[in-house]
Amino acid sequence: MSKLRFCYSSIYKFDTPIVEHHFKIKCMPKTCGRQNIIIEKMNISTNDFCSEAQDFFGNRYVYGDIRSPHTTFQYEIIGTAEVNNSNIDTSDDFVGMCQLQTKLTHCGSAIIKHIRYLEKICAAMSDLEKYNYINSYVNHLLKYEQWQTDVETTAEEALVMGHGVCQDYSHIMISILRGMGIPARYVVGMMIGEGYSHAWVEVYTPGDDITKSGWYGFDPTNNQLIDDTYIKISHGRDYDDGMVIRGMFKGTAKQQQIICVNVEEMG
Amino acid sequence: MEDLNKHVNTVNTLLARYGVRFGIYKNGEFKEQLFPFDPIPRVIEADEFRYLEKGLAQRVTALNMFLADIYGEKKILKDGIIPEDFVYSSSGYLAECEGIMPPKGVYSHISGIDLVKGKDGEWYILEDNLRIPSGASYPLIARDLCRKASPHTFINNHIEDNRDYAILLKDTMDHVNTGGINVIFTPGRYNAAFFEHSYLAEKTGSVLADANDLEVVGDYLYYKGYGGQRMKVGAVYRRVSDEYMDPMTFVPDSVIGVPHIFEVYKKGNVALLNAPGNGVADDKGIYYFVPKMISYYLGETAILKNAPTYLPIYEEDMNYVMENFHKLVIKDVAEAGGYGVVFGDSMGSEALEAFKETVRKEPRRFICQEVIDFMDLPILEGAETVERKADLRAFVLTGSDVHVWKSGLTRFSRNPDSFIVNSSQGGGFKDTWVLSR
């Protein structure tokens, strides 16, 4: 078990004033089996209204409007987390849905080739061995490189390009797993030493005599298992479900975004 | 009845003057067409309609229960009646609607069920339209004009008055209204059915609004009046499709949607008619399962039959389809409005083989049906009467109870060889008379 303090903050700067700005922010971790969250502070730019809701996966978000002209928008969430990753999520909600590919995880011929190969290699492995094997297998498929891919890059495209970021690693791993008939979901969260938000994968196993059924976390970007240094924010079918911020406004401004995520162990 | 024939030109001229048009997009260009009216009505006897009424109400009741189940407990999936992936991979399924119970639990408030009468005298369901079925305004205004042109036709025949549609629709909105005004939310002037939106707003005393007239403030939806004053909205009969309704939840670059409207709906602070996510129930693939739904939810046998349908995902059906391809009609489940419909017998052998291969590769994408030899109806062409294929769209309104409108939209194909009657494919329409005795 670990005790962590986290701070998620982001600032948007617009070079000319914008109006009728609608926003939706999904970056509040919530208490669940593996983590106990206390939100100490949540600040959002002065707004006309702001309200809280949950999406169908149970992820929390806030949404609202700023109507009058403004050139900055910022939000900040500070809190603490007690994490015990051995308490996995055992619910089988939406397992069926997480078995189906989405537009972002859809597999083309490049991914299918790996699926065929992995099906042979992993045939005799137990579920968790298999997931672990695929986790490090995916880690070796890509070279970590920023700014090469964007939020619309699909798993197949990233694989063909050969480089990407955590989002691409996760999409590829999910695509392979689903292609093998295994339910997998996309997780957004924070981890010690990352500086940004992070993405990883949770895989479902129906369990057996030794293994508890439920969702197990893997981090293909760092080739490791999820442990107590990770704080989970949300999960969904793919990046789109976990999108941290969504917004629209009137204006022709160019925007600049600074994100700062900090997680540290509490003494 | 013959008297009406004399007035056909007058009625069509008046329809044109009232702006009864149908807009279609062709090659990215918006064109408006008149929707040609044929004066010879489809006549449905009182007994026959009572039978249709029972069957339609049963079907819509089951479909509403299915929607509540799918976005709720999912019993029908857990019991293995419908395969799970059929639901989740349907383009009309919206995960965003999971766990949301619409006001009063009604999902499909206005249902448009398309039927045909076979040459065997039996009625068959062609498809269910539970999203934004349009067309009720056409027989409504046509009847009005016919009554003016030939009043005694309606005195001498015992025809059910269809003017109650406006009252039915208003009651349906009032039933689910969460407090506030009723609004008809239109995508705007360039929508195919804009005439209908404005006509129904006028008839039901609702406010016709586009995206610029509506705004979310806090947890409620408001209509912005001309003077800048805000009026709270309690029910929205929205004619904007699910994906364009709220750019903050669905397609982000939609300019015909209202940001955050979905959040207000989620909190139960406004009713949306029809409920978002209904597309999962009128999916062409799910159609196959409707009779099973009726027996599952209601413990009854379906009164109205489906056209015999095959799903290539089932091996047995796939074999049948491959052997009988030439005599089946193949429908792409993702397409609507008569697009993506192919008749096996209209294809050359090469095209046929290629298409078979597509079906084999993408079995989930298609449903295959027997071609129903449906009854021709007489239409007037110049001074002559000719026979054409026609279907019937029946309107079922669900409020405090399920009500089948005693009229409907009869559409016919103008092309003597065509079975496709959709208005977007250039067909015409007739009034539908339900006899009162």
Contact flag A96-B88 (C-beta cutoff 8 Å)? yes
- Sketch the domain layout of chain A as residue ranges: 2-84+243-265, 97-241
d(CA B186, CA B277): 18
Q: What share of chain B is helix, strand, coil (3-state, %, to 5)?
A: 35, 25, 35
Q: Which residues of B touch A56 (CB under 8 A)?
A: 95-99
d(CA B114, CA B174): 26
Contact flag B259-A97 (C-beta cutoff 8 Å)? no
Contact flag B247-A96 (C-beta cutoff 8 Å)? no
pLDDT grade for A267, boundaries at 50, 70 and 90: confident
The residues of chain B scoring below 50 in pLDDT are none
Q: Which residues of B touch A48 (CB under 8 A)?
A: 217
d(CA B139, CA B375): 20
Contact flag A100-B88 (C-beta cutoff 8 Å)? yes
Nearest residue in chain A measured CA to CA from B70: A94
Cβ neighbours for B95, distance < 8 A, ≥ 6 positions apart: A56, A97, A237, A241
- A59 in Cβ contact with A1 (< 8 Å): no
Q: Which of B97, B219, B248 sits opposite A51 (nearest CB)?
A: B219
One-letter amino acid of B294: I
Query: What would the pLDDT profile of A105-150 be if each residue is shown by its tens digit?
Result: 999 999 999 999 999 999 999 999 999 999 999 999 999 999 888 9
Please, which residues bridge with residue A37 across strands?
A: A81
**pLDDT of residue A9 exceeding 80:** yes
Nearest residue in chain A measured CA to CA from B98: A56
Nearest residue in chain B measured CA to CA from A23: B248
A56 shares contact with chain B (CB less than 8 Å): yes
Token pair belonging to B323: 């052997």
Count of C-beta atoms within a 10 Å radius of residue B302: 18
Supply the pLDDT for residue B419. 65
Contact flag B248-A56 (C-beta cutoff 8 Å)? no
Mean pLDDT on A97-101: 93
Which CATH number is associated with domain A97-241?
3.10.620.30
pLDDT grade for A47, boundaries at 50, 70 and 90: very high
Supply the pLDDT for residue B334. 66
Token pair belonging to B47: 């007994």
Interface residue of B88, B215, B222 to substitute, partner A, most A CBs within 10 Å: B88
Contact flag A24-B248 (C-beta cutoff 8 Å)? yes
Q: Which of B99, B247, B260 sits opposite A63 (nearest CB)?
A: B260
pLDDT grade for A12, boundaries at 50, 70 and 90: very high
Q: How far is A193 from chain B (nearest CA, A)?
A: 32
For domain A2-84+243-265, the question of CATH label 2.160.10.10 is answered with no
Contact flag A56-B219 (C-beta cutoff 8 Å)? no
**pLDDT of residue A93 exceeding 90:** no
- DSSP letters for B173-184: HHHH--SSEEEE
Which ipTM score applies to this complex? 0.90
Q: How far is A184 from chain B (nearest CA, A)?
A: 15
Q: What angle do CA B398, B399, B402 make, to 5 degrees?
A: 45
Query: What domains can be seen in chain B, in order of their start residue?
Result: 2-289+374-434 (no CATH), 308-370 (3.30.1490.270)
Supply the pLDDT for residue B19. 79
Q: Which residues of B touch A97 (CB under 8 A)?
A: 88, 95
Give chain A's radius of gyration (CA, Å): 19
Strand B230-238 versus strand B271-273 pairing type? parallel
- Residue B186 burial class via C-beta count within 10 angstroms: exposed 0-12, middle 13-18, buried 19 and up: buried
Contact flag A100-B260 (C-beta cutoff 8 Å)? no
Supply the pLDDT for residue B338. 63
Interface residue of A57, A97, A98 to substitute, partner B, most B CBs within 10 Å: A97
Contact flag B85-A49 (C-beta cutoff 8 Å)? no
- Torsions phi, psi of A163, nearest 5? -145, 165
Q: Which residues of A touch B218 (CB under 8 A)?
A: 49, 51
